[in-house]
């Protein structure tokens, strides 16, 4: 699969690159970033996928995440895809709102017109992009983990819960844990998947756990000064679901932190180290 190099720079004992390709899943060009730490020739490295939140592209975490030193120390490749298809002819929210359409793909494969043609972010993130990355970078496909922020935290949780054994570990920053029960999620799931709420359950972390999905453990960081905490994120619902089913959840409420990349950058290296314990060795 052809890959265009947008940029490559030296950073923290590795190479930080940004790349573009024509996606068969979305029918559009897609851009993503990859950090590859220095390694011996022939080595195959584990990979940590990072899914971004509403309004973001791959650039937000690439420029603000502060993960490279930790990935170099652990020997982990870090991959950050975009959050939605983009380009001429890609449908957007009719009112131009930030929480649906461009920049808000919600990591689902849309079934509703006009979004079904391009908004196939679940298949893109779990199938097409991993195959492309494995072709062009020294990854070990058997050692993958996933994390994300907000909408991307929702994506990380649901993609891992829905694909047993695919990811060795999963974590999240301020995730939308129960999109079926909050305004962001209700708008997105209805728009992409239709009004049948039963079809939403496999895209809702709390519902997936209620329906029998399991992961070995979860790490979630949440700022207690996050403006979206009570209405959109509701980590207490994830905590209750994990308590009821025996999933070990480390929910860390971080005093004074908000929803921004100041919060994420503070704790992202700790998440890399947490994933490394499952990925390395």
Tens of pLDDT along 152-181?
999 999 999 999 999 999 999 999 999 999
- For the domain made up of 3-279, the CATH class stated in words is alpha beta
Catalytic annotation, pick one of 84, 203, 226, 275:
226
Is the pLDDT at 271 greater than 70? The verdict is: yes
Catalytic annotation, pick one of 118, 154, 203, 259:
259
Let me know: does 107 contact 126? Beta carbons within 8 Å. Answer: no
Q: Are strands 139-148 and 45-51 parallel, antiparallel or unpaired?
A: parallel
pLDDT over 90, % of the chain? 99
Query: Is 211 labeled as catalytic in the residue annotation?
Result: no
Is the pLDDT at 281 greater than 80? The verdict is: no
Confidence (pLDDT) at 10: 98
Is the pLDDT at 267 greater than 70? The verdict is: yes
Catalytic annotation, pick one of 150, 203, 204, 275:
150
pLDDT over 70, % of the chain? 100
**Residue 1 confidence class, pLDDT cut points 50, 70, 90:** confident
pTM of the model: 0.98
Q: Express each pLDDT in 191-243 by its tens digit.
A: 999 999 999 999 999 999 999 999 999 999 999 999 999 999 999 999 999 99
């Amino acid at each position: 699969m052809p890959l265009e190099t947008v940029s490559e720079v030296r950073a923290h004992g590795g190479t930080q690159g940004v790349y573009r390709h024509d996606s068969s899943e979305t029918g559009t060009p897609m851009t993503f970033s990859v950090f590859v730490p220095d390694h011996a020739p022939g080595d195959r490295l584990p990979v940590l996928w990072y899914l971004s939140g509403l309004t973001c592209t791959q650039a937000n975490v690439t420029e603000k995440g502060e993960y490279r030193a930790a990935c170099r120390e652990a020997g982990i490749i870090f991959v950050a895809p975009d959050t939605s298809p983009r380009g001429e002819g890609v449908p957007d929210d009719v009112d131009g709102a930030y929480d649906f359409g461009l920049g808000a793909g919600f990591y689902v494969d849309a079934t509703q017109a006009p979004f079904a043609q391009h908004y196939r972010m679940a298949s893109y993130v779990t199938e097409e992009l991993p195959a492309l990355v494995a072709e062009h970078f020294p990854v070990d496909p058997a050692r993958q983990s996933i994390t994300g922020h907000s909408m991307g935290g929702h994506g990380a949780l649901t993609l891992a819960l829905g694909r047993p054994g695919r990811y060795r570990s999963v974590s999240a920053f301020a995730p939308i844990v129960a999109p079926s029960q909050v305004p962001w999620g209700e708008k997105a799931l209805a728009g992409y998947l239709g009004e049948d709420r039963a079809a939403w359950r496999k895209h809702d972390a709390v519902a997936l756990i209620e329906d029998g999905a399991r992961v070995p453990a979860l790490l979630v960081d949440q700022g207690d000064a996050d403006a979206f905490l009570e209405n959109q994120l509701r980590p207490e619902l994830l905590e209750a679901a994990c308590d009821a089913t025996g999933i070990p959840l480390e929910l860390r409420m971080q005093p004074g932190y908000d929803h921004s990349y100041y919060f994420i950058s503070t704790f992202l290296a700790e998440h890399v180290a947490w994933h490394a314990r499952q990925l390395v060795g």
